């Protein structure tokens, strides 16, 4: 028996591909200088090391570290999946993430991919033996620090409310300087116009269309939508009274804005600033809005269905809404439904297909709403009958949905009736038609026919 020793092949040495991640949480000039410094610093550090290959710097500005859906951060995660770098440099744990779960989830994902993350301040390498233990401790400290900062900010805001001080954010028609509220005449004229037109019988949808047609813009410079008109019509501050703490943040982690329905104390400051709308007109508008809610059975409940407020349109950035027609349920872009001047060319998606795609994306045997809410952050309705699922851990999955054409959905009975009608039309005979109610100019119901 002859045994021959085979020496391992010498690995070809290549330079380690290194990138960095930088983040500042407040969108202010001083912070922007800090971000520029971080990017410049890491660029120099990486390029000056002959054993390293520069793989770029990912950054986010004006975004808190408790949120995982940061554009720069998500881009880094996606590039990691295709192995664009081997090492990530970060100033500190808190710059990477203040959410313990997000931090550990991302670092574990990188570890599975063989990517190391080095935190300079803590001197931690995630691929080291003790890396995850130390990282868990520092992440907990960072999360607690975030909670403490949040509580301090809340205390200051609520103290200002108790003293009747207006917030820094303003509404259309007003400006705030040195905590004093003043009217902006041009914007106030738009507010008065909206209230006047509504009192003349124009609904919120008609108002949005009118404002967009005549070139009016919201306070953010965007086109008007139904909800932006509704916000103006229900803002009691236009009467000159200041109502404080209408909303609050759910917690320091999600930062989700919630409507205050009695959970926290509110403060009403009478005659705080000049009025744009009279109290009588405002009260009349509220009565009509309430009547319309009852008349048209408008529900004020949100998140009734699993996909409510979860789907964004890739074409116009609108939100998809649940619709029901002829017994079929589907989701369609709100901008396309309202047609307020914003062009949208995206398709409606059958609800049944959303359930099927979500089940496949989550790799489940059947749809589970709890798992869906736990794992999925949001969905993007793409073109060509595709939907992109964005997971809370940074992953994305694209699924394709099936669409039956109208002819494919016809029953044999419907097809036979169409053939008979077609044959009669060829002979010049009258064919079957359907009737539906309409109104004549006097408002009385009549019956009109349609072939």
Fold observed for domain 16-147: Rossmann fold (3.40.50)
Residue 379 DSSP SS3: strand
Say which residue the tokens 């744009």 belong to.
276
φ, ψ (nearest 5 deg) of residue 425: -65, -35
Query: Of the CATH numbers 3.90.1750.20, 3.30.429.10, 3.40.50.450, 2.60.40.3500, which one belongs to the domain with range 164-295?
Result: 3.90.1750.20
Token output for 309: 């407020």
Cβ pair 338, 347 in contact under 8 A: no
Token output for 226: 């139904």
Strand partners, 331: 322, 349
Cβ pair 132, 104 in contact under 8 A: yes
Nearest to 25 by CA among 78, 98, 79: 98
As a whole number of angstroms, the distance between CA 353 and CA 350 comes to 5
Residue 123 DSSP SS3: coil
Residue 243 DSSP SS3: strand
Cβ pair 224, 207 in contact under 8 A: yes
Walk along the chain (451 residues) and give the pLDDT tens digit of each residue. Answer: 778 877 766 655 678 999 999 988 755 555 556 788 888 999 999 999 999 999 999 998 866 544 556 889 989 999 999 999 999 999 988 788 766 677 778 888 998 899 999 999 888 898 887 776 777 676 666 666 666 766 676 677 677 767 667 676 788 999 988 878 899 999 999 999 999 999 998 888 889 889 998 999 998 888 888 888 999 999 988 998 888 777 777 665 556 677 777 777 787 888 888 999 999 999 999 999 888 765 554 544 554 789 988 999 988 888 899 988 888 899 999 888 776 666 788 889 999 999 999 999 999 999 999 899 889 999 999 988 999 999 988 888 999 988 655 555 556 676 676 677 666 655 555 444 443 333 443 443 333 333 3
Strand partners, 434: 450
Strand partners, 60: 23
As a whole number of angstroms, the distance between CA 134 and CA 346 comes to 48
Q: CATH 3.90.1750.20 in the chain, residues? A: 164-295
As a whole number of angstroms, the distance between CA 332 and CA 337 comes to 7
As a whole number of angstroms, the distance between CA 195 and CA 231 comes to 12
As a whole number of angstroms, the distance between CA 115 and CA 7 comes to 28
């Amino acid at each position: 028996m002859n045994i021959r020793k085979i020496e391992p092949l010498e690995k070809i040495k290549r330079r380690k591909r290194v990138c960095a991640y930088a983040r500042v949480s407040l969108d202010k000039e001083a912070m922007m200088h800090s971000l520029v410094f971080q990017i410049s610093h890491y660029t120099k550090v990486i390029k000056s090391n002959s054993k390293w290959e520069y793989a770029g710097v990912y950054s986010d500005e004006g975004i808190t570290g408790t949120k995982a859906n940061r554009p720069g951060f998500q881009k880094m995660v996606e590039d990691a999946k295709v192995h664009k770098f081997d090492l990530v440099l970060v100033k500190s744990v808190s710059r990477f993430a203040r959410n313990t779960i997000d931090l550990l989830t991302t670092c574990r994902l990188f570890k599975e991919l063989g990517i190391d993350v080095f935190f300079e301040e803590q001197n931690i390498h995630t691929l080291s033996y003790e890396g995850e233990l130390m990282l868990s401790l520092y992440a907990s400290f960072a999360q607690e620090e975030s909670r403490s900062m949040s509580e301090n900010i809340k205390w200051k805001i609520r103290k200002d409310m108790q003293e009747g001080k207006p917030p820094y954010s303003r509404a259309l028609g007003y400006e705030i300087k040195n905590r004093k509220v003043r009217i902006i005449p041009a914007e106030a004229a738009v507010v008065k116009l909206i209230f006047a037109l509504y009192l003349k019988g124009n609904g919120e949808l008609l108002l949005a269309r009118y404002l967009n047609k005549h070139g009016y813009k919201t306070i953010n410079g965007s086109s008007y939508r139904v909800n932006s008109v509704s916000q103006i019509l229900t803002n009691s501050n236009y009467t000159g009274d200041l109502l404080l703490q209408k909303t609050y943040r759910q917690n320091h982690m999600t930062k989700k804005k919630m409507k205050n329905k009695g959970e926290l104390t509110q403060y009403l400051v009478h005659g705080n600033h000049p009025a744009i709308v009279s109290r009588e007109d405002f009260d009349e508008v509220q009565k009509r809005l309430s009547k319309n809610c009852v008349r048209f059975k408008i529900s004020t409940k949100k998140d009734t269905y699993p996909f409510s407020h979860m789907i964004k349109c890739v074409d116009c950035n609108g939100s998809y809404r649940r619709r029901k027609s002829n017994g079929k349920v589907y989701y369609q872009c709100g901008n396309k439904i309202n047609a307020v001047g914003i062009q949208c060319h995206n398709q409606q998606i059958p609800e049944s297909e959303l359930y099927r795609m979500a089940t496949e994306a989550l790799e489940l045997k059947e749809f589970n709403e709890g798992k869906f809410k736990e794992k999925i952050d949001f969905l993007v309705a793409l073109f060509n009958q595709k939907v992109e699922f964005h997971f809370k851990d940074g992953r994305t999955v694209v699924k394709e949905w099936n669409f039956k054409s109208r002819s494919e959905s016809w029953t044999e009975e419907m097809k036979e009736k169409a053939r008979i009608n077609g044959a009669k039309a060829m002979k010049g005979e009258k064919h079957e038609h359907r009737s539906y109610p309409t109104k004549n100019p006097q408002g009385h119901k009549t019956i009109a026919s349609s072939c």
